[in-house]
Structure 1
Amino acid sequence: MAKSASAFRFVDLFAGVGGFHAALKAYGGACVYAVEIDKAAAAVYERNWGRNPLGDIKVDANETIMNVPDHDLLVAGFPCQPFSKSGAQRGMDEARGTLYWHILKIIEKRKPKVVLLENVRNLAGPRHLHEWQVIIETLREQGYRVSETPAIFSPHLLPPERGGRPQVRERVFITATHNPTGLGDDSFVEPVARIGHGIGGFDPKAEWHLEDLLDDTHNVPGCDLTEAEVRWVDAWDEWVQTWFEKLDGRRPPGFPIWADSWTDFDKVVKRFGDVPDHRELMDDDEGLPAWKAGHLAKNYALYSIHREWIDVWAQKWGIYTEKFPPSRRKLEWQAQDTPRLWDTVMHFRPSGIRAKAPTYLPALVAITQTSIVGGTRRRRLSPRETARLQGLPDTYDFGAQRPAATYKQMGNGVNVGVVWHVLREHVARDEDVLKKTAAGRNIIRAVQTAPLSPDEVLAKHKPVTAG
């Protein structure tokens, strides 16, 4: 798949199953070092690329010598938990957050021409302004041109002919070029990507078709819904259809619909003398968060208008019985005017059943919230379909590992098409610096002579060893 002579050398840190590797190898690069601490992910990496990355970044006691060879390009999807909304958001105060310093030591020692780091969007959020500034300033101290403005991008903004996929997966990228003599001009450099409209006028809402991604030949046990899950969806599907009928086609409300809140309605109205608003609820309970007070007030108001048919619905389906656990008594409608719940893309979440329009999929996550597609399929995505969402070819070998492991790896992975696009944009931005060195010119040549999408190259992928 690579050219006969490698265009550039790269190292792959926190490598996962090899999403970065897939993009860079397709560009003609040669991996000279890779590291991944998870055994299952490392095994998949080795099967596909012939290199065992199992281990951790090694830094000696003086933090001066790393077991990392010289290279032209460094990539790292460094651990996101310290910055993720699903975690405690402790940033660099948490031990895993300090892994950036290991990356920086390698950069300080080896001075790769290009650095490409990836993390969750929240790294560039208000909770982590300090961490963001530390990363930018320390890279500049090492002589790198890097934008202070975050580069945020998602695969659903790329058309399929450019390697895009129907997955909203917003990630922040930090791209830097070694430019020790030009830092005075680098303070206001633009980011290589901005979240917003599709590339080249591509309209994600109109032009993505999930059926292009799906097929039933890769289904595994666990893709099909259980009887209980079907019942939960059937019940809320009737609720949604009744809502559309009763309200002449007006879409369901965007706030979470909490069936449990309706059981307290009469008691609450008696206490307040009427349906309370959120201020009254907060005044009555000083410990009640504003967001929860707002949702409760909206649910009380909704129920006061529609209780006649809602009570009939709840009785019919046994909403307040053991058939419906508390988390399945909630519906988060984000599917706009989709006429039925069964026609949406769904997630079973601790916060309820979340429904989205069937245009593109929410981000894959490393926990058990695999997307459920409705329509005629009515099942979860298969592991192979999640790999497709990340831009990996159908020949990518996951061996005999459990589906849960593949789901986790894809939830933690990087999208190949986005890496391809971000590197291309970075080379275009920094061509003036890159062309000054042989390594930079090699990277320019590799990127500019490659196709617009990695897909046609990766279609030729063959695992190195059988799984």
Structure 2
Amino acid sequence: MTLATGQLELFTSDNTNVITQIPTTKPKVISLFCGCGGFDYGFHQAGYHIVFANDIDSAVEKTYRKNLGEITIKDIKEIDKNTLPDCDVILAGIPCQPFSSAGNRNSVNDERGGLFQQVIETIKAKNPQIVVFENVRGFLSAKDENGLKMPDRIALEFKKIGYKLYFQLLNASDYEVPQNRYRVFLLGVRNDLSLAYRFPFPIFKKANLVVKEIIEKPLPLDEEKDVWDLSPQALHLAKFIPPGGSWKNVPDEELPDRLKKIRQNIKKYRSPNFYRRFNLDEIMGTITAAATPEHSGILHPLENRRYSVREIARFQSFPDDFKFVGCTTAQKYKMIGNAVPCRLAFHLAKSIKLQYFSDI
């Protein structure tokens, strides 16, 4: 269907498509902990204007500049929040490790958890209508230093500064992302905006999200295959793992001693599924920043290698004209794995725009 300028195709909970008008003025966004720009790119696609972006990792600088524009590489603690441009929305992909179920589960007193307070200072200084946080699934059960669950703690902190909190666990594959990736999104709405936020309905069109659809696409004409080599051990084990398989397919005599020990008492180790290799007709699992074959499904189904940079970028729904430049191959895997999937960000941004910015 061809849409007229200023129109947008939406989907309801029963997958019925409707056409609606969208606003033409661009809401202004400040993006904190922006990384290479997955979150920002989705908002850009939805018609927002990124007026300030910040990250501490210099490896993302050239990629962000090439695809999105200006970025300030600086510790957020060293930034005077009052000098930032005015904005309508603040995005904050706070580093997730303090709240991860695989991490040490410290809270806002953790050095990285304390970055939340830097976001609060930014909110106080700029008073945006909307604030959006993204974090890992474990955030829902993580607790602060007083034993209060983190969503409740965030809600209390937001209430102090005049915002209502809404949060929901979303799966990226419900929003046109070829990856089963569960993340918590928290949305703060300024008290003077009376409308309660409604998260976007899932889009039930998953036939084109399977691994086969991603890896069979040719590379962009201006790119060569960029692949981070496997370790000798991972390369050896991969030879025994079929599409859809894992380390459980590897003969005992081929396993390293550590994995033999785990296999001998697999219930004790909660039946881990190391060296997962997704099949062609499956939706990819979570792309991680570490990209380790032992702990993620990073193994290509048909070749004994990791997925290439472009392949994992596609799993994260980055378009092929989004280029990763100015850093090592390993750094590209990390920045892509850390990103919010672009299409998920787009659908979230679109829902916010229609609910709160349709009259600007």
Q: CA distance change for structure 1 residues 134 and 382 in 2, over 3 Å: closer, same or farther?
A: same
**2:208 is aligned with 1:171:** no
Alignment deviations for residues 19-44 of structure 1 (CA, whole Å, 9 cap, x no partner): 12212222222222111100011222
Partner of 1:91, secondary structure, is coil
* Superposition RMSD in Å: 3.4
Q: CA distance change for structure 1 residues 176 and 441 in 2, over 3 Å: closer, same or farther?
A: farther
The alpha-carbon deviation at position 118 of structure 1 amounts to 0.8
Partner of 2:122, secondary structure, is helix
Map 1:122-271 onto structure 2 (within 5 A). Answer: 122-125=138-141, 127=143, 129-147=148-166, 150-158=167-175, 164-180=176-192, 182=194, 192=199, 199-202=202-205, 204=206, 208-215=209-216, 217=219, 218-222=224-228, 229=234, 231-235=236-240
Would the aligned equivalents of 1:327 and 1:352 in 2 still touch at CA under 8 Å?
no
Map 1:316-355 onto structure 2 (within 5 A). Answer: 318-319=253-254, 324-327=255-258, 329=260, 352-355=274-277
The alpha-carbon deviation at position 220 of structure 1 amounts to 2.8
**2:84 is aligned with 1:68:** yes
Residue 50 of structure 1 aligns with an amino acid whose one-letter code is G
TM-score, scaled relative to structure 1: 0.60
Partner of 2:44, secondary structure, is helix
- Correspondence for 1:34: 53
**2:53 is aligned with 1:46:** no
The alpha-carbon deviation at position 181 of structure 1 amounts to 7.1
Partner of 2:105, secondary structure, is coil
Tell me how far apart the structure 1 counterparts of residues 249 and 142 of structure 2 sit (CA, whole Å): 30
Would the aligned equivalents of 2:100 and 2:142 in 1 still touch at CA under 8 Å?
no
Q: CA distance change for structure 1 residues 193 and 326 in 2, over 3 Å: closer, same or farther?
A: farther
**2:48 is aligned with 1:121:** no
The alpha-carbon deviation at position 222 of structure 1 amounts to 3.7
State the structure with more CA Rg. 1
Partner of 2:50, secondary structure, is strand
Residue 187 of structure 2 aligns with an amino acid whose one-letter code is T
The alpha-carbon deviation at position 412 of structure 1 amounts to 0.9
Partner of 1:352, secondary structure, is coil
The alpha-carbon deviation at position 356 of structure 1 amounts to 4.5
**2:341 is aligned with 1:418:** no
The alpha-carbon deviation at position 6 of structure 1 amounts to 5.3
The alpha-carbon deviation at position 328 of structure 1 amounts to 5.2
Q: Which one of 267, 274, 284 corresponds to residue 361 of structure 1?
A: 284
Q: Which one of 387, 395, 408 corresponds to residue 334 of structure 2?
A: 408
The alpha-carbon deviation at position 209 of structure 1 amounts to 2.7
Residue 12 of structure 1 aligns with an amino acid whose one-letter code is S
Tell me how far apart the structure 2 counterparts of residues 425 and 236 of structure 1 sit (CA, whole Å): 42
TM-score, scaled relative to structure 2: 0.76
Would the aligned equivalents of 1:331 and 1:353 in 2 still touch at CA under 8 Å?
no
Residue 209 of structure 1 aligns with an amino acid whose one-letter code is V
Identity of aligned residues (%): 24
Which residues of structure 2 form unaligned runs of 5+?
1-21, 264-271
Tell me how far apart the structure 1 counterparts of residues 249 and 238 of structure 2 sit (CA, whole Å): 15
Which residues of structure 1 form unaligned runs of 5+?
159-163, 241-251, 260-312, 333-349, 443-467
Q: CA distance change for structure 1 residues 181 and 190 in 2, over 3 Å: closer, same or farther?
A: closer
